[in-house]
């Protein structure tokens, strides 16, 4: 285990291993720490082998996190300071975020900002598209900007949209509403998107360069 810790240390990562009442070996990388939770019954050699198999993943994940943390936080496409935002939004916001880490705080802000925009946007775009969602919820998603359950008419939007220009949020909302007309990505679907939002291609292209999909 010491050799593994030394190898990780060379990449700026601290290894933390805990025996717990869990069924599987679980890995988590955050703030330069690779946390490993292992079942009580797992032998030392088996645990070392499992960690060794995840070394490349841990290093890549750590480097990715470091890259993201070096980039400025953005709100509606512009650089912003999280702490200044909190100061400008009063004690209630500060109290809500007091016990959060930086990632959770940013997600709280994104959710707050999108919720402020949504009522008017929903009213505007449901009228233009000619379809209504039964509900619209927000959550962080790693691989999608939005989704639509056609059967229930429930739409989900990615909180990360608040990092991009507001028109991106509008585009994803239009995109998902149009799925209530066409439950696919056929030519008819894209024609309905273009009819509602003629400049959609620009915002679609911008978001596609950010690795998530629609």
Q: What structural domains and CATH numbers belong to the chain?
A: 2-70 (3.30.160), 74-208 (3.30.2010.10)
> Is the predicted pLDDT of residue 91 greater than 70, yes or no?
no
> Is the predicted pLDDT of residue 99 greater than 60, yes or no?
no
pLDDT digits (tens, 9 = 90+) for 138-187: 999 988 999 999 999 999 999 999 999 999 999 999 999 999 999 999 99
Give the pLDDT confidence score for residue 68 in this predicted structure: 63
CA 48, 50, 51 angle in degrees (round to 5)?
65
Average pLDDT of the chain is 89
Ramachandran area for residue 144 (φ above 0: left; ψ -120 to 50: alpha; else beta)? beta
> Is the predicted pLDDT of residue 51 greater than 60, yes or no?
yes
CA 28, 207, 142 angle in degrees (round to 5)?
20
Stretch 91-116: mean pLDDT? 75
Task: Round to whole Å and give the CA distance between 54 and 130.
Answer: 49
Task: Round to whole Å and give the CA distance between 89 and 125.
Answer: 28
């Amino acid at each position: 285990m010491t050799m593994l810790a030394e190898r990780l240390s060379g990449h700026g990562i601290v290894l933390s291993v805990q025996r717990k009442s869990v069924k599987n070996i679980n890995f988590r990388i955050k703030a330069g720490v690779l946390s490993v939770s292992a079942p009580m019954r797992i032998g030392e050699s088996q645990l070392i082998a499992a960690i060794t198999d995840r070394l490349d993943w841990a290093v890549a994940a750590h480097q990715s996190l470091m890259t993201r943390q070096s980039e400025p936080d953005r709100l509606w496409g512009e650089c912003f300071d999280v702490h200044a935002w909190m100061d400008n939004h009063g004690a209630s916001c500060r109290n809500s975020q007091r016990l959060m880490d930086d990632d959770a705080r940013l997600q709280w802000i994104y959710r707050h900002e999108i919720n402020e925009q949504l009522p008017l946007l929903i009213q505007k775009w449901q009228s233009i598209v000619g379809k209504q969602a039964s509900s619209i919820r927000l959550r962080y998603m790693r691989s999608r900007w939005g989704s639509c359950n056609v059967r229930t008419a429930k739409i989900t939007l990615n909180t990360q949209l608040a990092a991009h220009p507001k028109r991106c949020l509008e585009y994803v909302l239009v995109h998902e509403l149009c799925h209530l007309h066409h439950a696919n990505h056929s030519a008819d679907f894209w024609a309905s998107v273009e009819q509602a939002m003629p400049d959609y291609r620009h915002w679609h292209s911008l978001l596609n360069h950010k690795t998530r999909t629609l």
